[in-house]
Amino acid sequence: MDKVFALKIRKIFGWITVGLTVFLGALFLGNVLDIYFTGKAKGVGAVVYSREIASQHLATILPFFIFYVVWVIAVLVIYTKFKVDTKPSVYSEPVYIFKRYQKRLISANALFEGDREPLFAQYNSVLDKIKKLKIITLAVWAVAIIAFLVYMFLPSSFTDKNHATEEVLRMAYIVLPIFMVAFAVNIVCNYVISNICNGFLPSFKDLTKGLKPVNTSRFYDNKKFILILRIVIIFIGALFIILGIALKDNDGKNGVFYVLQKAINICTECIGLG
Amino acid sequence: MAKIKGFFIKIWQWLKDHAPTRRRIIQVYSALLFNANIKGFFKPNEIIYTGNTKVMCVPGLNCYSCPGAVGACPLGSLQNALLLHSKPTIMYILGILVLFGMFLGRTICGFLCPMGLFQELLHKIRSPKLKKNKVTRVLSYFKYVLLALLIIIPLLYKGIPFFCKYICPAGTFEGGIGILSEAANSDFFAMLDYLFTWKFALLVIFIVACVFIFRFFCRFICPLGAIYGFFNKIALLGIKLDKDECIDCGKCIDACPMDIKKVGDHECIACGKCVDVCPVNAISWKGSKFIFKNKEAKNPVVDSPIDIAKLKNVPANTEAENRQVTAENTSTSQEVKTAINKPQKPKYSRQNKLWLKITAPIVATVVLVSALVYYNIILKPDPMPSGSSVVQVGDEVPSFSLELYNVPQATLTATPTGVSHSFTAKFDGDLKIQISANNVKAFNGDVEVSSLVVNKGDVVNLTFKADINTEFTVYFISYFDTTKLNGKVTVINFWQETCDPCVAEIPHFEDLYDFYNGQINMIAINDDDDYTRRRIQAFIDARGWGDYDMMFGRCLPDDVFNAFKVLGGKNAYPITVVIDTNGKVSNITQGGLSYDELKLIVETAMVS
Ligand code: SF4
Ligand code: SF4
Ligand code: SF4
């Protein structure tokens, strides 16, 4: 079968599935919000959710849901019919390739001379720029984390012990925007770094021509160390379990008791009921 | 005939092509094993399994409120341990997590976690998929932020299982929807409010996202995966990369659906996809040495270095004397220009694993079948009935009794001359004096007493004496029972200290009690099976509830009139039962109440 044609068919059906999936999700979302806000509008003490209300709303979605399931199965068959063999590709993010070239630089233990000297100087300036961007990223994350920790440990935070949800929401209002900024800065920096790397790749290729890649070893490459570490960690894990069972708290209960108590009692808030 | 034969051959071929992988079989197997209490989904008289196997955590994210769950969820247990500030519990859970992580790492995610399976099945829906990129890489660290919140919030702020309450879709899906779908649990609907709306919306978003983004929840949200990720490099099972063999071609990273930077790093879930694409067999399973025979292997992609060169369409020895890589074109070309002239390392043959092929499925099947038979056939039905309470609206209230926390407990040191302790009684009636040390006696003036009759507001002065200096704790206990209803509206709230809605609504009860100025009975009680008196009293005092005018009480497990058993008696919180002036049950509410809602219920009970 013509590969281009098969790809086209897959694309068309695939994108329709995207639309249907998002639509189905929106239907569920819309209905749950409808139940909630309609219930709330009825005033204090009114029934918000009930089995009947939920069933009525589910009944409106059901035909589309059934259609969706049938559609998904049909597309599965279509994809099998219009099979396209794809060869394994190579991960081609510029930063990744940049790192691979860097591995080769390690084997060049002398400074570059001759025509490679300016390239090497260029490489260093690129590295400098990348470093600066990484520092910016780290700095904004550090600010976000410090802001979070300061908020958490401020005596004025989390004072109203009887209204946990409000306290968490208050924290989210204050801390979340800072994290969003950090996230946005991180993404922008990543894009800039990626562009810088991409721009330098052809020169980097020339700079590292003929050099062998060298893998630097890390702590987990040392087999003896890893063996000892594993034994120590297993020992600590086992010890913790034994202590958890053997030790008792002020009420004479051990760790197992509380795990069991929590597991056999439904805490309705944990499962999102209320 | 030939046509029919052809048809069956086609079907057979299709089945062969689409047969589940071994990983998929193990995923389904673990999901079944962790939720072996299948009858929980169908038996209306049992909400969840309440047996002893729940002392053990399962390795994956599997909600313990799922009707089928037979083990505890490690993440839920960790949060509970942190918010209880109970050192033995924290140690026990950490020990379990450390051992799981050390032995299996994120192989748990790839093979054993039911949530992982659920997400992968959703991703099977054929549609264009979002490939990993710089944004997903950064987002993959978000789960560490959630892990930090999950640890810090319960430690600082007792009472919030942050992740369970606001985020976990496993809880909403397996626990919440699992319970709501059972007709016998209809009264749970009454408690649904903003929290359910939020969590259901989040669940829908997660599900839709999983169709387009591989393991959306695992990659960006799951703190359990983040914990296991710390162990990935040193875990006994998982994926390992032989750096000496690797030619840096990047095919593994391209094939990997997770946001890895290197094969086997903290993001790797040991799915094994990269093993098959590596052209030089540099990737293998940890521990394969013990399972496979050390032999020259048949490489699934290529057999020898010469073939690699052929495959890549470049002559061997293009650029170097020894093993050397010429990967200049890797950014653009599919043909990785690789030249290798060193013989490959011996690999581990699969011929020798026949014993494993036979014994592993037999043992696994026996374990699963035994679990299914045990939980569904042998095990007696759980006595814990479904629904929110034993009594129904309109029922005559049955006889019940409970013990009240009248006066705060005190820890003192008795001396031969005596130590005095004074307090103001909060309620009328008998006050029993319970002392934790046998040799300590209580005196009212010169008279030895074990109980007193007090009126509300009485200032009582007691002296505690012992032959030698003895530290002890004294508890002052009052009782409340059906005879003390006095024709008043009585509000009985069943609560637990680890339940946030329970804790949030108690101040409303006090406010309403003050509003009616003692014209109603207002009691908040919890079950002594769960938390002992000392713990609860300390909790009450820490919240400043010790000064409240309403009553706090507890039930004794061996009391036949135990209010928990005769009125509530369920394993879901909070529940509020309101008794009207005629001694009939006028309202039962499952879930938290606001002040206005509570007032409305009480007003209704007053006029009935
Ligand atoms: S990341 Fe979490 S949800 Fe995903 S497979 Fe691992 S434990 Fe399960
Ligand atoms: S493809 Fe390889 S590196 Fe990626 S998750 Fe699977 S096993 Fe781990
Ligand atoms: S596919 Fe194999 S050779 Fe290529 S980078 Fe990955 S581990 Fe190395």
For ligand 2, which residues put their CB under 6 angstroms from it?
B 239, 255-256, 258, 260, 263-264, 268-274
Q: Which bound ligand lies closest to the C-alpha atom of B30? A: 1
CB neighbour burial string for A206-222, b if at least 16 within 10 angstroms, e if fewer: ebbeebbbeeeeeeeee
> Which residue in chain B is spatially nearest to A103 when comparing CA positions?
B248
Under the banding of pLDDT at 50, 70 and 90, the label for residue B530 is: very low
Chain B residues near residue A161 by CB distance under 8 angstroms: 157-159, 503, 543
HEC string of B103-149 equals: HHCCHHHHHHCHHHHHHHHHHCCCCCCCCCCHHHHHHCCHHHHHHHH
Q: 């990785």: which residue's tokens?
A: B336
Whole-model pTM: value is 0.78
Q: Which atom of ligand 3 is nearest to the CA of B283?
A: 7
Flag the least confident range among B93-97, B128-132, B133-137, B561-565. Answer: B561-565
Cross-chain CB nearest to A229 (options B175, B234, B330): B234
Helix axes B74-84, B223-231, angle to 10 degrees: 100
Please write the tens of the pLDDT for every residue from A157-179: 777 665 667 777 788 888 889 98
Under the banding of pLDDT at 50, 70 and 90, the label for residue B350 is: low
A145 and A114 housed in the same domain: yes
- The CA-CA-CA angle for residues A99, A102, A103, to 5°, reads 95
Under the banding of pLDDT at 50, 70 and 90, the label for residue A154 is: confident
- C-alpha atoms less than 13 angstroms from C-alpha of B200 in its C-beta half-sphere: 25
Q: Torsion-angle region of residue B591: left (phi > 0), alpha (psi -120 to 50) or beta?
A: left
Under the banding of pLDDT at 50, 70 and 90, the label for residue B318 is: very low
Q: Name the percent of chain B lying above pLDDT 70.
A: 81
Looking at residue B340, its pLDDT comes to: 41
Dist. CA B408 → ligand 3 center (Å): 68
Choosing from A86, A114, A145, the residue where a domain stops is A86
A253 to B65: CB separation less than 8 angstroms, yes or no: no
* Residue range(s) of every CATH 2.60.120 domain in chain B: 401-481
Return the closest-CA partner of residue B504 out of B98, B159, B181, B104: B159
A196 and A81 housed in the same domain: no
Q: Which atom of ligand 1 is nearest to the CA of B59?
A: 7
Mutational pocket test of ligand 2: of B256, B262, B275, B285, the residue with most ligand atoms within 8 Å of the beta carbon: B256
A44 to B530: CB separation less than 8 angstroms, yes or no: no
A81 and A96 housed in the same domain: no
Choosing from A54, A86, A118, the residue where a domain stops is A86
In contact, B591 and B598? CB cutoff 8 Å = no
Looking at residue B333, its pLDDT comes to: 39
Identify the residue with better confidence: B378 or B2. B378
Under the banding of pLDDT at 50, 70 and 90, the label for residue B306 is: very low
Is residue A234 pLDDT above 70, yes or no? yes
Q: Which atom of ligand 1 is nearest to the CA of B219?
A: 1
B543 to A161: CB separation less than 8 angstroms, yes or no: yes
Q: With an 8 Å Cβ cutoff, is B199 touching chain A?
A: yes
Question: What would the two tokens of residue B167 be?
Answer: 């985020």
A20 and A79 housed in the same domain: yes
Looking at residue B158, its pLDDT comes to: 61
A98 and A211 housed in the same domain: yes
User: What pairs with residue B325 in β-bridges?
Assistant: B338
Neighbours of B381 (CB within 10 A): 9
Look at domain B239-286 and name its CATH class.
Answer: alpha beta
Flag the least confident range among A34-43, A186-195, B353-362. Answer: B353-362
A273 to B127: CB separation less than 8 angstroms, yes or no: no
Flag the least confident range among A195-204, B270-279, B354-363. Answer: B354-363
Separation CA A241–CA B102 (nearest Å): 14
Choosing from A62, A86, A110, the residue where a domain stops is A86
- Computed over every residue of chain A, the mean pLDDT equals 86
Is residue B596 pLDDT above 60, yes or no? yes
CATH architecture of B401-481: Sandwich (2.60)
Q: Name the percent of chain A lying above pLDDT 90.
A: 39
Flag the least confident range among A116-120, B229-233, B332-336. Answer: B332-336
- C-alpha atoms less than 13 angstroms from C-alpha of B51 in its C-beta half-sphere: 20
Question: What would the two tokens of residue B381 be?
Answer: 């039905």
Return the closest-CA partner of residue A98 out of A69, A118, A126: A126
In contact, A187 and B134? CB cutoff 8 Å = yes
Flag the least confident range among B238-247, B358-367, B384-393. Answer: B384-393
- Amino acid occupying residue A139: A
Range of the domain at A42: 1-86
Q: With an 8 Å Cβ cutoff, is B3 touching chain A?
A: no
Domain covering B485-607, topology: Glutaredoxin (3.40.30)
Q: With an 8 Å Cβ cutoff, is A242 touching chain B?
A: yes
Please write the tens of the pLDDT for every residue from A85-129: 777 677 778 888 888 888 888 777 666 667 778 888 888 899 999
User: What pairs with residue B422 in β-bridges?
Assistant: B461
Looking at residue B569, its pLDDT comes to: 55
Looking at residue B332, its pLDDT comes to: 36
Chain B residues near residue A249 by CB distance under 8 angstroms: 86-88
Looking at residue B334, its pLDDT comes to: 39
> Which residue in chain B is spatially nearest to A185 when comparing CA positions?
B138
